[in-house]
Chain A
Amino acid sequence: MILRGGTLVLETKTVHGDIRIANGKIAEISPALLPETGEDVIDCTGLLVMPGLIDMHVHLREPGFERKEDIASGAAAAVKGGFTQICCMPNTKPVVDNKVVVTYIKARAREVGLCKIHPIGAITEGQEGKTLSAIGAMKQAGAVALSEDGKSVASAGLMANAMMYAADFGLKCLCHCEDASLVDGGVVHEGYYATLTGLKGSIRAAEDLVIAREICLAESLDLPVHICHVSTYSGVQLIREAKARGVKVTAETCPHYFTLTDEAIKDFDPMTKVNPPLREERDRLAIVEGLKDGTIDCIVSDHAPHHADDKNVEYNYAAFGISGLETSFALSNALVKAGALDYCGLVRRMSANPAKILFLEGGKIEEGAAADLTVADPDEVWTVDPAAFVSKGKNTPFAGREVCGKIKYTIVDGEIKYREDGR
């Protein structure tokens, strides 16, 4: 198969050229390739050809919450969103805290056969913050990282042990940063709009305190740590300063944190309820700046699908989260359109950096590499329609929003797993 005439996003530059895919690998990259007899040619004129996008922070809900999403629907949403690899968080039921659940997820992913799915194990048993989960066994079964996502490990002492023990197995902790005593029932960002709506807010320090704690632990122990879904300007600054003095910290953010602010909550729409909460314009700008200067390494969707019933209730009772896989690329593409990133920078944050952080194969277009490729029209304008999502989770605050950038083909190991025209 030949991808013809696309703009190839390489590590440091974009070039026009053709890619030949054979035996699941990128066989040849050249300014112009001649098709062999019977070889398929996909016309990529005017399209971007990127290394397969990687979303390292996704909730697939299976096992246990299949009403919200399952591995099949989540994987379908992933390839529709341009992702060839995704990492799924362990807050399922049962929690991913042992090799059995890791093995189950990997087996289901193989059966579904759409994209590569890498399970993330819980840091503590049952995510209860008391004893370490079966970290070694989960690594053996295929877990690629550890996370308590949804909350923090409350005890700094246990967190330090987790980081050390995980490091023996080459695993990183991906840290959801939230001090429960400061959040104290807060459902939105503490600010003007929290007061306007009377919804309980939580201050930035609720997130920043734990970001600072994880940075301190990483620095003291000289171990790597990864900060999940950064949402505050002050959190960006903590990470920037830590990186400057050599702390092995990496970080991610989500499209909603650089697209929306807490103004979105003013009409009590539960679709805007997400953790950490949407914050203020100064935070949004700092997130963009952090992505620009490399303080924030990755863009992830934090895809958190929910059943309609979980959102059709009072704001306080609604579930946290946004179904993000199918809008992540277009919302992130806006950063390129706004001049904050170029395509190489965008692809680093959506593919190369996640691969590097989690030691995954991928993130580069090079001969001999697995043919994981995402082809998109960077200029096509479309309107977000949750009814058209293939994810079971239709929960998005972006319904009706005009966005730019559409996935045309998602290719995994040389096979087309998604094509927009459906053929």
Chain B
Amino acid sequence: MKRRKDILGLRELEAEEIDEILTVGLSMKKLLKQNIKKLPHLGGRSVITLFYENSTRTRCSFELAAKYMGAHVVNVSSATSSVQKGETLVDTGKTLDAMRSDVIVIRHPVGGAPQLLAKTVRAHVINAGDGMNEHPSQALLDMLTMRESFPTLAGRKIAILGDIGHSRVAKSDLFGLTKLGAEVTMYAPRTLLPTGIEHMGAKICSSREEAVEGADVVMGLRIQLERQHAGNFPSLGEYAKFYGVDETVLRYAKPGALVMHPGPVNRGVELTSALIDGETSKIEEQVLSGIAVRMAMLFLLTKEEIA
């Protein structure tokens, strides 16, 4: 991987760099599958997770990834930290830097916050999700999961359905997948589609069936109940009826198409339970891919210093 201090988004990563992370991630996943959880790569390093938003799965995943490679891990969350006392992100960053942290994993409700932190600190910064901007490790774990089924993503068709408008995952997936040569189709209520996404390489479809037609992967994105309250659609029931994916819709995809979702899933809203628990569902597989790909990210960012 070219010398890069931080991983802030897939918008800035090159195809070769993504490919390298996936390749290393695949080896990490093989080890994990053999239940090998004691690797030396981050021995003596410290990793801080700095979360300004609630998260269970992403934080847990980064924490385990770092610990499996021998790092010291400290978790800081905004609810318990000096952030509550009004400290700015820049000052918090300087403090963590002064503690000789090697990597800071940040999640933040504002797009671009990881960039601000990265400019401020000497430590490596990994974006664990910033506002509606990017969630690179999620997209990388999605791609890793796909790569286990397909030797290459070039020419594959990925259908993404759900709350694309508020989704940092959809955008990171779009940037990453198109860089690796995949085709991305999207479908959502107009109120949940972001302006101009069609100019970023996505094909916006006019029906569920069109989006899913011939797809190798069908991915649902979480619909938050708060979007209903904000008036983006009338009710979860109506959403499921007109925009959800069930077996009838899935029939338009290629036989054996993978079913994916970054979680947490609203059963019967984005995807029906039959799909979530179906044979081609990769939703649980995505979770282990998450640890593997985060191990790869941590390792590749810090490896030269360790060697």
Contacts and interface: CB of A to CB of B under 8 A. Distances in A.
A195 B134 CA distance: 10
Interface residues of B, number: 25
B122 to A, nearest CB: 18
Contact of A268 (B90, B112, B194, B199): B112
A14 interface: no
Given A268-B111, A268-B116, A317-B110, A199 B195 contact: no
B200 interface: yes
A320 B23 CA distance: 44
B89 A197 contact: no
B269 to A, nearest CB: 23
Nearest to A267: B115
Given A198-B134, A313-B88, A192 B112 contact: no
B287 interface: no
B197 A316 contact: no
Nearest to A268: B112
A294 interface: no
B108 A198 contact: no
B90 A312 contact: yes
A315 interface: yes
A420 interface: no
B110 A196 contact: no
A191 interface: yes
A205 B105 CA distance: 38
Contact of A198 (B88, B89, B116, B171): B171
Contacts of B111: 197-199, 268, 315-316
A362 interface: no
B199 A192 contact: yes
- Interface size range on A against B: 20 to 34
Nearest to A314: B110
Contacts of B133: 197-199
Interface in B125-169: 130-134, 168
Contact of A195 (B113, B115, B130, B195): B195
A90 B89 CA distance: 31
B264 interface: no
B257 to A, nearest CB: 27
Contacts of A191: 195-196
Contacts of B200: 192, 195-196
Interface string B68-94: 000000000000000000001110000
B115 A268 contact: yes
B59 interface: no
A313 B90 contact: yes
Interface in A339-355: none
B108 A314 contact: yes
A200 B230 CA distance: 14
B11 interface: yes
Contacts of A363: none
Given A199-B131, A199-B132, A200-B132, A315 B110 contact: yes
A194 interface: yes
Contact of B168 (A192, A198, A267, A268): A198
Contacts of B113: 314-315
A194 B195 CA distance: 8
A197 B195 contact: no
A201 interface: yes
Contacts of B195: 190-192, 194-195, 201
User: Which residue, B112, B130, B133, has most C-beta atoms of chain A within 10 A?
Assistant: B112
A316 to B, nearest CB: 4
A316 B110 CA distance: 6
Contacts of B130: 198
Interface string A291-323: 000000000000000000100111111000000
B90 A315 contact: no
A295 B88 CA distance: 44
A195 B131 contact: no
A197 B195 CA distance: 12
Nearest to B132: A198
B51 to A, nearest CB: 15
B196 A312 contact: no
A101 B115 CA distance: 42
B231 to A, nearest CB: 11
A162 B34 CA distance: 75
Given A315-B110, A316-B110, A195 B196 contact: yes
User: Which residue, A193, A196, A309, has most C-beta atoms of chain B within 10 A?
Assistant: A196
Given A197-B111, A198-B132, A199-B111, A314 B89 contact: yes
B88 A312 contact: yes
B193 to A, nearest CB: 9
A17 B111 CA distance: 56
Interface string A236-278: 0000000000000000000000000000000110000000000
A196 B132 contact: no
Contacts of B171: 195, 198
A280 B224 CA distance: 31
A195 B194 contact: yes
A320 to B, nearest CB: 15
Interface in A187-231: 190-201
Nearest to B115: A268
A196 B88 contact: no
A315 B196 contact: no
Contacts of B196: 191-196
A315 B116 CA distance: 9
27 contacts: A192-B196, A192-B199, A193-B196, A194-B194, A194-B195, A195-B194, A195-B195, A195-B196, A195-B200, A196-B196, A197-B111, A198-B111, A198-B132, A198-B171, A199-B112, A199-B131, A199-B132, A201-B195, A268-B112, A268-B115, A314-B108, A314-B112, A314-B113, A314-B116, A315-B111, A315-B113, A316-B110
Given A194-B194, A314-B112, A316-B111, 12 more contacts: A190-B195, A191-B196, A194-B196, A195-B194, A195-B197, A197-B112, A199-B133, A201-B195, A268-B112, A309-B88, A316-B109, A317-B110
Nearest 3 pairs of A and B residues by beta carbon: A268-B112, A198-B133, A192-B196
